[in-house]
Structure 1
């Protein structure tokens, strides 16, 4: 009976895995020198409180003692698998892990601005510089070139246009140039997203690519006539949100540039 049980157990994949792991551990101890993996796991009161807090936020009640013990066991299991995965190098060249780490770094770069409130002077300055964005019925004079549905190719075409080069626009059954067109009429012709984007484009040069219902466009705003701009007191929260979004983008770019400056980048193109 015992012999048959042992034969059956030896056929199990888990037994093979554990056996291989044990052999690897012994070999490392015999020939591989020091095992640098920290094999001490301490669960302190702060860890337990955090686990209980996460549970309570999800289920709207405190966990029972049995549930809390289960959370602790699961945390230990996760920590062990994490450490062993790192020891085996499973994080190397993994695109999912790379994206997650990038997302966390970007979150850290942006976290501080999330709770910041602009000063009154900063808000007034931002509002004064962006009044066209908040105009109720602005009118635009602009040129557009339809560049198709490839955003990257459209970016290259816009660079060429600003360099004074000729770019072949694709045919489209809408006007290439409009004079003092109202925002709502532009929205009917190109889409509301296209019309809204005109509020933030610089004047006098080709910008974009700007997306419409047709695809991507190069747009050159020549003139903007604003009317009916509400006072700051009426749209304070909207202006504050826009200030925060732009400040966040600026801070993220600055944080990345600071990191980039510390690296020696070499690119070998074929």
Structure 2
């Protein structure tokens, strides 16, 4: 391209190439592609990190809340503090998200999951009595009480050297002294879960296998050694509805929430491309 030339009227700009020729120029195409990439990148970044804005709506809501709690109008200093506190929390929240704390912190993750669960399912309607009774009748296996056992024990902190002789004396009705046990000697109608929590699962199994009315042992537990006599064994039994109504209501509400979540999972799987 020739350099600009001087005329009697001053400098004359060089002639521009025709539009058709300009469109065919590789440098022009490269320039257009670069501009398009820059615009797309800017749009993506703007969507990924929206600006922090203390909007009039946010300020109005904070002022209304403050005035309702304080019982007075918000002063300029109050408004400045509200803005400062809001911006601080917003920036710290965004930094937490940027550090993926919502993915790695168990408590934060659970709170967010519970919040979204509520937003999806909403507050379920209060079930009426007919719905509760129907749910109870359809799920009777869930409302059976655990087996219960009545027994007494003689406790020794250490395994006695004469365990066989002590067992024989107990079974002929002789008195045998034991060490102090924090729950005493008698255990009337204790459920399996309670016995398990005190003595451990092996003790529960031994108690179930023991013949009623006879002393057995010593049975070892994490607390020591136990000579045990089972007096009564009650099998698992259905808990009457009126005794467990509150639990039935809670179970029904949770079941309704679970159904709403299940209905939304298909859409969420597609949205987040879940791999199987």
Q: Aligning the two structures, in what range does the TM-score lie when normalised by the shorter sequence?
A: 0.3 to 0.5
Q: TM-score, normalised by structure 2?
A: 0.40
Higher Rg: 2
Q: TM-score, normalised by structure 1?
A: 0.41
